Amino acid sequence: MRRLMIAMLCLLGALLPAGSHASDNLDVAPSTRSTVRVVLIQDEGDEQFLLGHGSGFAVAPNRIVTNAHVVKQAVEDSSIRIGVIPSEGTKRYFARVIAYSPTNDLALVEFESGNLPVATLFTGQVPDGADVAAIGYPANVDRALEGSVEDRIAPMRPVQSRGTVSGGRSSHSYDTVLHTANIARGNSGGPLVDTCGRVVGVNSFLAITDGIDSGFSFAASVRELMPFLRNAGVKPLTTDVPCLSLAEQDRLEEKLADEDNRTSAAAQDKIRSEQARRGEILAEMQDEIRDERDNGLATAAVLFVLGAFAVGGAIMLHGQGKTVPSRWTGGLGGLLILGAVFAFFTRPVLADAHDRLERRLGTQGDAAKPVAVAAEGRKVCAIDMQRSRITISSPADVSLTWKKGGCVNGKTQYAEEKPGVWSRIFVPEEEPTVTIMSFEPAKNRYSTERWQLESATMDQARAIRKTFDNKSCTSDGKALASIGEMQGQVRAILPDRSNERLTYSCTKSD
């Protein structure tokens, strides 16, 4: 019992955050799946001995960053082999060192085959006090759990500990990040990540006081890592966009949604006010037209009567043999009758009231017109940084061609998941990421959300996707219902929160 209590206390010590200020909103899932255990194995005849281990993370599907001191023995002794054990699955790999830099304690190892999820490096400035997490395989946890050698070379989820960036101090040898996340022997080479799970450093060593591990640790910074990888021919995933925590993103989204609602409500109030004003003016125009119609009718009647008298007089004059006066009088009567016909048929109609209204109001009347739903056609969508939480993607513009009914780019059918919101789920065969793409025509807003999933959940999503065969645009109700059903089943297995959320504002493009 005493041994079990000690084991539990050790495990809790490794897992709990270093201080109460550590964020509860760290999203380390992306880097957790990129983190591996790096082991050194000595072959002696038919037997294999585990000499030690560290941690590492994937910067390419088959390339792992770790500390130089983790693989030093293998560099110096060719009989020692390097093993790479992913955090999940059943595969294990033997690797070789392809880049080695003891001056900044970095190494790059490569194995022949495999497809590990790749971590994203944050190349921006990491502020003092920023929340971070150290991810890796601390040996004290292995000892506390009394793990066997076989346990240590089996795929296993890494341990995370939380802390903050402290003071921005650096070592004399190379640029480092000083932080308070608890690490121990075995964490060496593992990633130090921010609240979005982007790598901000490579955990390297502890601050030592009288032979006792202290509460401060050092990680080689990304400023050291980037040129090291560049010299090794590796082009990693990077981003320099500052990260919002999940809670900060949710709060901001609520604030922006409230602002949108207030703006929309104000716009609707203005529209209603303008429409009421238009109604009043339209009624005035209609009254004017009624008066003009009455006046036109009266004018036509008067002209007709006068014309009739003139024609009658002309007939009398003609009967008296007064030819010339009769002609002039008859001509005048005809003109008066034509004038009566003209006055009658050129009277304004009530429908003319709308044209008069627009001429009177001019552009002032535009606000009262209904808001048009986004037209079909090609659109260019620019990232809305306020609404976006970027972890692995580049904030580049997105182009799409929208067609009424949910056809995008002429080949991908979206389903209307709720009124005005059209979505499509993308489940790739290789990459362990599910993406939901959505478009709101009325708002001209496009968005993508990404979930980086464990292999078991990813396999489940792929199995669901394979049961549906629609791969093109369609207006068939049965096919649209099938797409909606597939997306509902995939959504049901996804975590509540995505790892990345990108929102774009779209404009029509010629």
Q: Is the pLDDT of residue 154 over 70?
A: yes
Of 492 and 113, the structure prediction assigns the larger pLDDT to: 492
At residue 80, the pLDDT reads 93
Average pLDDT, the chain: 81
- Least Cα distance to 333 among 309, 363, 349, 356 occurs for 309
Segment 135-156 shows an average pLDDT of 74
Assign a CATH topology to domain 2-243: Thrombin, subunit H (2.40.10)
Contact criterion met (CB below 8 Å) for 221 and 122: no
Full DSSP string of 30-55? HHHHHEEEEEEEEEETTEEEEEEEEE
Q: Which of 473, 475, 484, 480 is nearest to 401 (CA)?
A: 473
Lowest mean pLDDT among 167-176, 346-355, 385-394, 455-464: 167-176
User: What is the average pLDDT across 150-170?
Assistant: 80
pLDDT at 333: 77
pLDDT-above-90 percentage for the chain: 33
Domain boundaries, the chain: 2-243, 250-368, 377-508
Tens of pLDDT, residue by residue over 4-58, are 333 333 433 343 333 333 344 567 777 788 999 999 998 877 777 888 899 999 9
Q: How confident is the model at residue 203 (pLDDT cuts 50, 70, 90)?
A: very high
pLDDT at 280: 80
CA distances in angstroms from 330 to 26, 318, 337, 388, listed in the order given: 100, 10, 10, 84
Tell me what pLDDT residue 360 has. Answer: 77
Give the residue with greater pLDDT, 348 vs 486. 486
What pLDDT score does 1 carry? 38
pLDDT at 337 over 60: yes
pLDDT of residue 121: 93
Q: What residue type is 126 in one-letter code?
A: V
The Cα–Cα gap between 14 and 182 comes to: 7
Selected residue with higher pLDDT from 453 and 268: 453
Which 8-state DSSP code applies to residue 158?
A: P
Q: What is the pLDDT of residue 22?
A: 39
Specify the pLDDT at position 77. Answer: 92
**Token pair for 105:** 């304690």
Binned at pLDDT 50, 70 and 90, residue 298 comes out as confident
Name the residue among 424, 460, 459 with its Cα closest to residue 439.
424
| Interval 341-366 mean pLDDT | 74
Distance CA 73, CA 81 (A): 9
Cα 99 to Cα 65: distance, rounded to the nearest angstrom: 9
Alpha-carbon distances of 170 from 173, 177, 206, 218, 240, rounded to whole Å = 8, 6, 13, 8, 21
pLDDT class of 147 with cuts at 50, 70, 90: low
Give the residue, 20 or 287, on which the prediction is more confident. Answer: 287
Per-residue pLDDT, 208: 52
The predicted structure's pLDDT at residue 353: 73
**Closest of 268, 281, 259 to residue 362, by C-alpha:** 281
Q: What is the pLDDT of residue 328?
A: 83
Q: What pLDDT shows up at residue 370?
A: 46
Question: At residue 368, does pLDDT exceed 50?
Answer: no
Q: Could you identify the residue written with the tokens 């050790």? A: 10
- Give mean pLDDT, residues 265-274: 74
Q: What is the pLDDT of residue 311?
A: 80
Note the pLDDT tens digit of each residue in 177-196: 999 998 888 999 999 999 88
Spatial contact of 86 and 206, defined as CB atoms under 8 Å apart: no
Rounded distance between C-alpha atoms, residue 347 and residue 354, angstroms: 16
- Among 220-234, 349-363, 477-491, top mean pLDDT goes to 220-234
State the average pLDDT over residues 150-176: 79
In the numeric block, which tokens belong to residue 411? 């080949």
**What pLDDT score does 169 carry?**
60
User: Please, are residues 395 and 241 in contact by the beta-carbon 8 Å criterion?
Assistant: yes
- In DSSP notation, 295-359 reads HHHHHHHHHHHHHHHHHHHHHHHHHTT-HHHHHHHHHHHHHHHHHHHHHHHTS--TTHHHHHHHH
CA 76 to chain centroid, in Å, comes to 47
Least confident piece of the model among 61-65, 346-350, 461-465: 346-350
